[in-house]
Structure 1
Amino acid sequence: METLNKANIIRHDADTRGVANFGWLFSKHTFSFGRYYNPERVHFGALRVLNDDIVQGGMGFGTHPHDNMEIVSIPLTGDLEHKDSTGNTEVIKSGDVQIMSAGYGLTHSEYNHSKSDLVNFLQIWVLPKKRDIEPRYQQITFDPADRKNKLQTVVAPDDDKALWINQDAWFTLTDLDKDATIDYKLHNAENGVYAFIIDGGVTIGTESLKKRDALGISNVESLSITANQDSQVLLIEVPMIEVGF
């Protein structure tokens, strides 16, 4: 597998993320979002937003619009209630993954389904391949056993077992036991992969990463991940497109 010697590597440690605290919402922003702006942290290729949101019981995001963005939600703990203008009303639980193609435009809301328990979820935005498509919604419950020391594809443009995305992008989850090693081969060598450590700690190349640290890697065909402790990792492979804002 690749040693990463010639790779382009961007490291984002957990404690360098932007912070938003509104009382009902506590969020860590990997990339510039809302009131947080860092010109060096705007995107990684087509990956535009990775927010780590904690929402108080009964609270949430009121109805608001989106367009031309692929929006993926991954609940880590708790339940998230979703409603949108295409008629979908769903509850997303831990183990579920949701995608919404905003396309030419829609509105939606997201609330903590519980009145008392916190919900923690990852909100991820990817720039679309085609603009102004018809808005769409999809949700799948994935079996955690299918990612135990192996790779589980949850979002892809070419896999009918995964959520479809309007981009040449792949989201992959893995739950690794301590000392386990797993190899990831990119679907397109011109893409980059963003490794986000949901829990635990891993080593990728010479980089040791802990919970909520991340590593963006491009100019590689594959990489190896070794768990330093029981760990969960999200890999987001995206085209390394230039973005103007």
Structure 2
Amino acid sequence: MITVRHASDRGQANFGWLQSRHTFSFGSYYDAHHMGFSALRVINDDIVSPAAGFDTHGHRDMEIISLVLEGAIEHKDSQGNRQTLPAGEFQLMSAGRGIYHSEYNASSSQPLRFLQIWIEPNERGGEPGYQQKDFGNQAGFTVIATPTGENGSLKIKQEARLLQLVLAPSESVTFALEAGRNAYVHQVAGTLKVENTSLSPGDGAKVEDIRHITFSNVGNEISQTLVFDLP
């Protein structure tokens, strides 16, 4: 079964300096039918004004992934990490027993756009951690995060995997899920078919009880997709 969450149906927040679209309930946006999916709790599509950002605030017991789509993030945290996250790079902050951080648009003239993703961990407490990596934009599947950090992936505290899928026009690929697992698909760019279901940028889809999922680029430009393999 495939259940689509259209981009236009997402929750909205506008704080002037921040415009955000929420796939799942977040902050002042609440929808009992969209509270997350498996361990996936948040996908926010954030646009931050030049020189603005999130002041220092705290998190605990959450795996927080950021992917910059346009611009760059200036990151500082209570573990002493001071990093710039440019477009195309992934960041994974494991909040553990508690961490404070700030995120600002690194530019004084151009907006910042990034995806903020929260995944609930399967262990609580522990030392906070920070990881950052550019995985490139190669065709096909690229493994971004795994529970073991295998093959240079980011190590996440959950029995979940995050993959990036890049397809040229007319290309197709099949993804195999283990029995009892499901997937969530978030379309970043281009037009994609998941089985016979079409997704446009910002759309998402729950994929349940399907062992082999066929992805097809049915548009005229390169397609970029995030695929979450979930318990």
TM-score normalised per structure 1: 0.91
Give the alignment's Cα RMSD to 1 decimal: 1.0
Residues 142-168 of structure 1: CA deviation (Å, up to 9, x unaligned): 121x3x1x1001111131411100001
Pair 1:10 & 2:11 matched: no
Pair 1:176 & 2:142 matched: no
TM-score normalised per structure 2: 0.96
Residues 18-47 of structure 1: CA deviation (Å, up to 9, x unaligned): 000111000000000001000000010100
> 1:107 maps to which residue?
100
List structure 1 runs of 4+ shifted beyond 6 angstroms: none
Deviation for aligned residue 1:209? 1.3
For residue 209 of structure 1, the aligned residue among 199, 222, 225 is: 199
In 2, Cα distance between equivalents of 1:119 and 1:222: 36
In 2, Cα distance between equivalents of 1:30 and 1:227: 22
Pair 1:225 & 2:210 matched: no
Instruction: Tell whether the 8 Å contact from 1:75 to 1:93 is kept in structure 2 after alignment.
Output: yes
Structure 2: runs of 5+ lacking an equivalent? none
> 1:243 maps to which residue?
none
Q: What SS does the aligned partner of 2:114 have?
A: strand
Deviation for aligned residue 1:211? 1.4
- In the TM superposition, what are the counterparts of 1:93-242 in structure 2 within 5 Å? 93-144=86-137, 146=138, 148=139, 150-158=140-148, 159-186=150-177, 188-229=178-219, 230=221, 231-239=223-231
Instruction: Tell whether the 8 Å contact from 1:156 to 1:164 is kept in structure 2 after alignment.
Output: yes
For residue 64 of structure 2, the aligned residue among 59, 64, 71 is: 71
Instruction: Tell whether the 8 Å contact from 1:12 to 1:215 is kept in structure 2 after alignment.
Output: yes
Instruction: Tell whether the 8 Å contact from 1:95 to 1:143 is kept in structure 2 after alignment.
Output: yes
Q: What SS does the aligned partner of 1:151 have?
A: strand
Residues 186-228 of structure 1: CA deviation (Å, up to 9, x unaligned): 2x33221111110111111221111111111122222010011
Structure 1: runs of 5+ lacking an equivalent? 1-6, 240-245
Instruction: Tell whether the 8 Å contact from 1:190 to 1:218 is kept in structure 2 after alignment.
Output: no
